[in-house]
Every structure is written in structure tokens, then in C-alpha cells.
Structure 1
């Protein structure tokens, strides 16, 4: 049953034009990392599904590159929308849905940790969607923003594509020999997602004080001391 379902899913994805898979994945990641849309589009899930199409090193490299470029474009869009539009973003319909508490948490994190907050937020729920805009609103230099967000996006893309591709390759090698090969695929993905969950919880606890309050703390390096 599990093998049949995986055969159908993997087969459907691998039958798609590889270029189309790469483009769709890159577009989805761009939307996921741009202003507020990441709360709706599950970029992690999209990338894992797309990674089942990896059948060669070229496809792996193309998908990783698409994920990185898409993430950087999306985060840049979020940054510049915050930089150019400023506070009205928070008062928009989506901004109000996020809630003042989450916006304040993003501001606190940036004020306390500066560029490190940009890096860490890539791996935290909710914050990864609003920190780019908050960095723009706060006046963080774009060069500083990119210096911190680029390595986070690279790590994220490599991890998800590699694990998805490895799980798929393992399943396809074993599926003709083992009726329960599908459970190996599920186990690989499940262990990876559990590790990701643990990592997010650890980061949340590690930086909880920086996220929850910032009274009396000056803006960190890379954030201009201005109202822009």
C-alpha cells in the first residue's frame, strides 16, 4: 500500500519536465520567503516533494540552485517592501493577521541580535516570513541583510533537497526487493523532520529572551539609527 502510493507520487513528479519542476520549486520558494506569503505557502513541503524528481547530480544541483535563488529573491522582495513601504505593511490586512505580538518579536530579535537574527529566523516559524520586512523597516543595510540571509538559505536548500533526494534514491533501490521499502522512505523523512523540529525548538529557547523583549537595548550592527 505504502509502496504503491510512493510509486505513484514519485512517478508523477519524475514524469514532469525537469525544467518545469525546477522553475515551479523556485517560484514557490520565492513566494514562500517573500512578504507574509510564507505563512500560506509551505516551502519546506514543496521542496521535499520536488526533490523526489532528482535522478542525477545535474537535477540535484539545479533544484538546490533554484531553491537558493528563489529564497534570496523572495527575502529581498520582503526586505525592500519593508524598506520602501515601512510601517503601513503592519497595518495591512495580512499584517494585522500576523498580529502585533509577532511583529514586536521580530523587531526585538533584530534589535538584540542584528544580522544573526536574520540568519536564525530562516529556521523559525512565522519569523522567517516577517523578519525580512522588519529588517527593511528597521533600516538594516541591504548588504548586511544579504550577508546573513544568504548562508541560511544555502544551508536550508542543501538540507531539504539532499534529504528528499536521498530518501527517494534509497526507496527506488529497495522497492523491488522489499515490500516495506516505503517505510524506509517515511523513516528517513520523518527523522529529518524530527531533527528540524528539535532544532527549531532549541533555537526558539536559545534566543527566547532576545525575541521577547528589547527594552533599553540599542540597535545592533547593520541597523541604521534612523526612522526610515
Structure 2
């Protein structure tokens, strides 16, 4: 894998930018993420931006669009051919426990599972297709897909940009970084909810006259 990554970094800029889009796009749409995680492409895009071979803005746009469009294709593929494709993938490549975990996530969280799955290595190549198979409403799917894809892609691009030539030090921990991003988002939302609740409680309290 190391030789492949080094080869990508030596590609012509436009071809490298195409891979920044394609790797996350193919992850869920063609179940490529079962073998090659899509975050590799966006991390390397950030590295190339750090080396001034690609504009950072272009890498961000390519990574975000790849994530959102790829998951949307995965949804429609799952809706149309999901069961057939799952049955065609050998168990040694696609572990049944991961499929069941993804199905359980969709049953429990509905549209939110699309957002959660984006940051979970074992799920995020499977959840879009399984969401389609489960007939999750596409509007709800798209909203959570756009939110998750934007945060996920931007986060890994920035990590690659900050890491620069030391990208291998984060590549091995990409799965944990994704979970850490999810935890940070959850904590942020919880804190925001608590502040809003306290603010509303304060407004409801009657004024005390002197």
C-alpha cells in the first residue's frame, strides 16, 4: 500500500485531483471502501495541497463532492440491486457481522445512521446501500449524507494538509480519527443543547422584584 500511496503523490495534479474525488465516490457506490478506505484519497489530497501541487480549495471541493455523490449513488444502487450485490461479495471480503451492524444502525437511528456511519470504518461503505435497501426516504438520506460528507471530507483534507510529509503517521490511525471526529461532534452538539436549554429555562423564570 505504501508504494501505491507514493505513486499517487507523484501523479500529475489533475489526475491526483480526480482520485481525490473518485476514491470517496467509489467507496459506497461500488463497495470499494470494503477494500480501500476513501479517506486515503482525501488525506493525500491534503498532502498535495501542503506541497503546493493542488489548491486547498479544489481538494476540499473534490473530496466533499466525491463523498456526497458517491453515497447517493450507493443509496440508489442499494435500492435497485442491493441484495444481489451483497450476496455476490464473498464473506472474506465483506464480513456478515459488519452487514448486520449496519442494518442495526439503520433500524435504530434512521437517517442519523448515514451521518454516524460516515465516521465508522466498518459501516460507511455499507450504510448508503443498506439505507436504499431499507427504503429510507431519499430527502432525509441526502440531508444527513451532505452533512456527514462535508465534515468528514473537510476534516481528513485538513489533517492531510497539516501532516504534510508525515501523512503516514495519520494514515494508520484513520479509523480512530474518524471516530474521534464523531465524538467531538457529539460533544459539541450536547454542549450546544445544554446551553440552549439553560438559556430557555432562564428566560422562563419570573423576574424577582425588589
Fold shared by both chains (TM-score > 0.5)? yes
TM-score w.r.t. the length of structure 1 is 0.66
Matched, 1:51 2:32: no
Matched, 1:105 2:81: no
Instruction: Report the counterpart of residue 218 of structure 1 in structure 2.
Output: none
- The match for 2:177 among 196, 199, 203 is 196
Change (3 A) 1:186 1:97: closer
Point out the more displaced range, 158-167 or 142-151: 158-167
User: Tell me, which stretches of 5 or more residues in structure 1 are unaligned?
Assistant: 1-8, 172-184, 204-228
Please state how far the C-alpha of 1:79 moved relative to its aligned partner: 0.7
Change (3 A) 1:151 1:135: same
Please state how far the C-alpha of 1:156 moved relative to its aligned partner: 1.0
- The match for 1:163 among 159, 164, 188 is 159
Matched, 1:117 2:98: no
Number of aligned positions between the proteins = 178
Please state how far the C-alpha of 1:42 moved relative to its aligned partner: 2.6
TM-score w.r.t. the length of structure 2 is 0.71
Q: Distance in 1 between matches of 2:175 and 2:92?
A: 31
Could you tell me whether the CA contact under 8 Å between 2:20 and 2:41 is conserved in 1? Answer: yes
Q: Distance in 2 between matches of 1:71 and 1:198?
A: 17
Instruction: Report the counterpart of residue 66 of structure 1 in structure 2.
Output: 62
The C-alpha deviation readout for 1:43-65, integer Å capped at 9, x for no partner, is 22232223221156x71111111
Instruction: Report the counterpart of residue 90 of structure 1 in structure 2.
Output: 86
Q: Distance in 1 between matches of 2:168 and 2:88?
A: 41
Matched, 1:77 2:73: yes
Instruction: Report the counterpart of residue 16 of structure 2 in structure 1.
Output: 21
Could you tell me whether the CA contact under 8 Å between 1:124 and 1:200 is conserved in 2? Answer: no
Please state how far the C-alpha of 1:97 moved relative to its aligned partner: 4.1
Could you tell me whether the CA contact under 8 Å between 2:160 and 2:167 is conserved in 1? Answer: no
Instruction: Report the counterpart of residue 199 of structure 2 in structure 1.
Output: none
Matched, 1:128 2:109: no
Please state how far the C-alpha of 1:117 moved relative to its aligned partner: 0.9
The C-alpha deviation readout for 1:181-200, integer Å capped at 9, x for no partner, is xxxx4697489858616628
Please state how far the C-alpha of 1:167 moved relative to its aligned partner: 2.6
Q: Distance in 2 between matches of 1:59 and 1:77?
A: 27
Instruction: Report the counterpart of residue 147 of structure 1 in structure 2.
Output: 143
Q: Distance in 2 between matches of 1:87 and 1:194?
A: 27
RMSD between aligned alpha carbons? 3.2
Instruction: Report the counterpart of residue 32 of structure 2 in structure 1.
Output: 37
